Amino acid sequence: MKRLACSTFVAVVMAALAVVVPGASAHAGSQEAAGSRLAAPGCVRFSPGWRYTFVTNDCSVTHTVTVVYRDGTDVPCRVAPPGAMITFPGYGTLGNEVLGVILCDTGEGTPGGP
């Protein structure tokens, strides 16, 4: 219950910031325009922090994902089975930003999945 309340709070704050902060909606557009990189489905959620970014797979299938950062930091893809929470680096203290979660090409024909 605590986890649901926290993720709901984060979603509400992110939605409010998208309305209040000018240019915030440009992040979604830039992620869509990233070539073959596909945004993770809505059931894959993330919670960014300065030290760690937590990604939770609430989907019924396994996804292979990575986090996209404003400064282009490249982090390895990780496999997230259903119900798993995996950890990526956070945004740090130098003003970087976590833009979202994308599916990785697993080489099996379907990005992000088996």
Mean per-residue pLDDT pooled into runs of 10, the chain (114 residues): 54 47 34 60 96 97 96 95 97 91 76 56
Q: Is residue 11 part of a domain?
A: no
68-95: pLDDT as tens digits? 999 999 999 999 999 999 999 999 988 8
Q: Is residue 48 part of a domain?
A: yes
Q: What is the CATH number of the domain that holds 86?
A: 2.60.40.20
| Domain boundaries, position 87 | 25-114
Q: Is residue 32 part of a domain?
A: yes
Q: Is residue 5 part of a domain?
A: no
For residues 88 and 95, give the distance between their C-alpha atoms in angstroms, rounded to a whole number.
Answer: 17
Q: Is residue 67 part of a domain?
A: yes
**How far apart are the two ends of the chain, measured CA to CA in Å?**
30
Structure tokens at 23: 């240019």
Q: Total domain count for the chain?
A: 1
